[in-house]
A and B are shown apart, each in its own frame.
Chain A
């Protein structure tokens, strides 16, 4: 049965290859025999057991079942994009790769359409969350299979919040500001990244902007909308939030800084992925006990937002045997495999499949439940516009982050908005 399916789809492969290139044809010709090995590239997870599980359990199991050796190449998260770029540009190297952020879009021409696979995986897995499509669907085609969302939440010291008389984590930004003023007075300032890191800056500044009703462009992805009263209010809030609850150094922080500051008990609240709680529990059990996680606060409109940070797996179109790669991905995403892999990371990667909505691992650490709940309010930078090249350029140039950072460093709201608007106009040039 499986053989028949493979034979049929191999014909499609040949068709596609003939259209693309001679190199592709050679690849397809070679594909008549199952490949001996395939390479999957991945960021080195901060949870060592997660990588180890793949290398030591999943890869050998797959080799045993199919005879195909799976090589697992780890790259540090900051270097992954450079590697993926090189692989896509030179059309050689790993067959599959982990992708994050909007890379399914950036590299879409060099990625295999996996819509069919996504449909079957979704069917088996109780359906996809809406956020899944936002992350990987380009021109109506799924260019990668979403694995999990690495959410960003508020991380805070429950004990210090309690001491300051704040029993529950504030539900609004204004409430958080109020709490922050008290906590800073008590010697426990907040620390939110306003520098040029990869994610912890965007992770709270985009949600802040959105919850105040601000946006970079209209949903058409062309009309610049940053210059608005909503943006101005978000900036004014941010400046006050910075001045009254934080300290100057956050302006120069990168992603590692807030982890370090939280674990060295310098700050009482930050916005980060689960790594703080995870490491605290492992290396600093006392801090681990009193670390809480909460969803981002609501803006004046009563809405809250989060950063969508999808970890997905894509297949490079240069892979000699597309079907073999698809088979492998399908095997990985089978609940029999994916389930234990999620388990190892204890909800660090929030699955995009509804069948895991109430999976046991969520109850291992109930403090992680907000990660699951935040998925419905999570978006990629640039929302509500669809993902675009201009959007990645805006993120790479830190337009939004620097707009807030400059305001915090003392520039007027008007000036920083004008700067950002000018930059966006150039980036979203017509045509």
Chain B
């Protein structure tokens, strides 16, 4: 009873504001629906058209590469960062706050700074290569299909790492020091303590942060939209940007919705996995 009293207001709120859009989105994807015109029901025709669209499959691969690479880097880096930050050192709070900066600054604006940092005419790497006479203009960070994907992943990691760091740090702080003391008395090495004390206790937080990070990275939009808008030749198009281009630019709301909803099955799997993992253990 107590549980229900607590749960009902937020659930109602979400249902009201998200329920209708979700149904609307699903409905759209089943329609041939030009912008500003009435739609006609076409069943799964949009999804069939997507399946035959080579760009759609390229976008699918891009999105997976982007998500997997960025998530692994953020998870490993974030854990390392949290462990490093969990030590006692001077200017701890200042550094912890500075560490958050990439996450704080509005993405659209920080990405504009990256436009310069990744421009071969101004990028520091290229500047040194050029002035040492090694290469001119040097690597094209956004013009080369592979480098462009790599650059986007780096910017994503840059932006996302602080959040992993701070969240896992908070997780580390909830681990009672007594546990470490006990382990030390038992003769455990630093590595043992990490494996047998830190990791198991941190697991729920790592799991949740990673899963949500996967969801957000998978559906990433702003970063790509500012830096490359999917270029060169679709090499960096993701589901969200492609769906947006087709729906907004092309005025094909139905097809855009079908591309966006193609994200649903993989994301749903992740969420089901989370739900199973997080089943309550205490009564």
Contact = CB atoms under 8 A, between A and B. Distances in A.
B251 interface: yes
A405 B55 CA distance: 14
Contact of B250 (A88, A196, A396, A405): A396
A252 B140 contact: yes
A396 B52 contact: no
B248 interface: yes
Interface stretch (B91-99, B179-187, B231-239): B231-239
A397 B246 contact: yes
B36 interface: yes
A397 B108 CA distance: 23
Interface residues of B, number: 38
B143 A397 contact: no
B224 to A, nearest CB: 10
Contacts of A109: 36-37
25 contacts: A85-B251, A88-B35, A106-B34, A106-B36, A106-B251, A195-B228, A196-B228, A247-B120, A248-B140, A249-B119, A251-B145, A252-B148, A253-B142, A253-B231, A393-B246, A393-B250, A393-B255, A395-B250, A396-B250, A397-B246, A402-B233, A405-B233, A409-B232, A423-B53, A423-B54
A39 interface: no
B146 to A, nearest CB: 11
Contacts of A396: 245-246, 248-252
Closest 6 CB pairs of A and B: A396-B249, A396-B250, A252-B142, A196-B231, A195-B231, A252-B143
A409 B145 CA distance: 9
Nearest to B249: A396
B84 interface: no
Contact of A247 (B140, B250, B251): B140
What is the interface of chain B mostly: helix, strand, loop, or mixed? loop
Contacts, number: 130
Given A195-B231, A254-B229, A389-B34, A248 B246 contact: no
B140 A85 contact: no
Interface string B112-156: 000100011110000000000000010011111100100000000
Nearest to A107: B36
A397 B34 contact: no
A55 B142 CA distance: 39
A392 to B, nearest CB: 5
A280 interface: no
A256 B228 CA distance: 11
Interface of A: 81-82, 85, 88-89, 106-110, 194-197, 247-254, 256-257, 260-261, 264, 266, 389, 392-398, 402, 405-406, 409, 419, 422-423, 426, 429
Interface string B203-237: 00000000000000000000000011111111000
A400 to B, nearest CB: 12
Given A106-B34, A254-B228, 14 more contacts: A81-B248, A110-B36, A195-B142, A196-B231, A247-B137, A251-B143, A252-B142, A254-B229, A257-B119, A264-B122, A398-B234, A402-B233, A405-B231, A429-B49
Interface string B23-49: 000000000001111000000000001
A308 to B, nearest CB: 17
B143 A253 contact: yes
A426 B49 contact: yes
A1 B231 CA distance: 57
A397 B55 contact: yes
B152 to A, nearest CB: 11
Given A249-B143, A423-B55, A81 B249 contact: yes
Contacts of A392: 249-252
A389 B140 contact: no
